[in-house]
Amino acid sequence: MSFSANSIIGHLLLWLIRKCIVDKHLYVIGNGFDIHHNIPSKYYDTRGGDCFRKWLDENDGDTLCEINDIFGFTTDEWWKNFEENLASVETLRIAYEDAFEHYPDFGSDDFRDRDYDEASIAVKIRLDNVFDNISNAFMRWIGTLPNGNDEKKVRLKTENGVFITFNYTHTLENLYKISADKILHIHGDSDTNTLVFGHGLHYSELRKEMEKYERVEYGDYICQTSKEAAIYSVASHRKRVEKIIEENKQWFSQLHDITHIHILGHSLAKVDLPYFHKIMKSCDMSSVFVEISCFDDAARENAMGFLKSLKIDTCNYRLIDLRGLQVYKDYY
């Protein structure tokens, strides 16, 4: 492999800049980090291990039945992408069912103008109740997750490090003894009464998705308003990423002198990309080194696409395996 003079000079300048600057590390932590520590925090485990789906089966069968009723036949693949699939076109079916079940009797002496909206109200109540039950079950499940395996700890630069975690657990605090004031739980944590989880589709995107199957405007007033109620209800359970970023703008402002970004165990899912754009805008990316952990070939391919989309220079990153950072290695 040959290097141009400009490439060599670029590497040398980057090395000199780093030598003159006190390193400051940002760690972005995803669910793969907890899984690495043997915390059963998957939504679904194809090998039959502990996970959210299994916990529901053993502890909250009613909510599991509601999920299957609302979202139809839920496959293994559906559960692996649980949050994304909360934005399901199956809700149109629910709208139809409740619209016909609560269709007003226009010829009745008891008919009132408010009866026009009975079906749409019923759709909203039904869907909102299901989402509330899922949310409550999710919070209870998070509270049951163990601290994790101490022997799976990895090397972290904690002294000059700050942490943004997408996990609801306290792995950083409990296993790594990192001070809470260094950690931003961007989606809440197991000590809070509310956790941020859900899909990433806006109302307009949901409407467009549902119109692939049938136009929302099709049908009479009762059907139309019921479909709209279904879309609004599902849309209200979107992760409001923009609002979360705005609420935490002061925290992001401290990233201006970051020299290293470590993305550990994060899937780089589309719904979370605005957070990464905010991080990159908050740093001087011309001198930041990026490190991303990848579990398999698919994760590596996804990471490369992520880096390319952010136009990160090829000499400014590396892909790693979390197991390579373990403090305690397993020898068999």
Q: Which of 204, 202, 196, 150 has the alpha carbon at shortest distance from 177?
A: 150
Q: What is the distance between the alpha carbons of residues 332 and 329, in angstroms, rounded to a whole number?
A: 10
Query: What's the pLDDT at 139?
Result: 93
Give yes or no for residue 186 having a pLDDT over 90: yes
Beta bridge partners of 263: 28, 292
Query: What's the pLDDT at 312?
Result: 76
pLDDT digits (tens, 9 = 90+) for 279-297: 999 998 888 999 999 988 9
Query: What's the pLDDT at 26?
Result: 97
Query: What's the pLDDT at 116?
Result: 62
Mean pLDDT of 16-26: 71
Lowest mean pLDDT among 76-85, 107-116, 209-218, 247-256: 107-116
Report the mean per-residue pLDDT for the chain. Answer: 84
pLDDT confidence tier of residue 332, bands split at 50, 70 and 90: very low
Give yes or no for residue 54 having a pLDDT over 90: yes
Listed by start position, the domains of the chain span 5-41+149-195+241-325, 52-144+201-235
Residue 152, CA distances (Å) to 159, 307, 325, 329 in order = 20, 27, 9, 8
pTM exceeds 0.85, yes or no: no
pLDDT confidence tier of residue 13, bands split at 50, 70 and 90: low
Give yes or no for residue 305 having a pLDDT over 60: yes
Start-to-end CA distance of the chain, whole Å, equals 36
Q: Judge whether 92 and 210 are in contact, CB under 8 Å.
A: yes
Give yes or no for residue 39 having a pLDDT over 60: yes
pLDDT digits (tens, 9 = 90+) for 123-163: 888 888 888 999 999 999 999 999 999 999 999 988 889 99
Specify the CATH class of 5-41+149-195+241-325 in words.
alpha beta
Please report the DSSP string for 31-62 in residue order. HHHHHHTT----S--TTS-S-HHHHHHHH-HH
User: How many beta carbons lie within 10 A of that of residue 63, not counting itself?
Assistant: 19
- Percent of the chain residues topping a pLDDT of 90: 43
pLDDT confidence tier of residue 1, bands split at 50, 70 and 90: very low
pLDDT digits (tens, 9 = 90+) for 222-263: 778 888 888 888 888 888 999 999 999 999 999 999 999 999
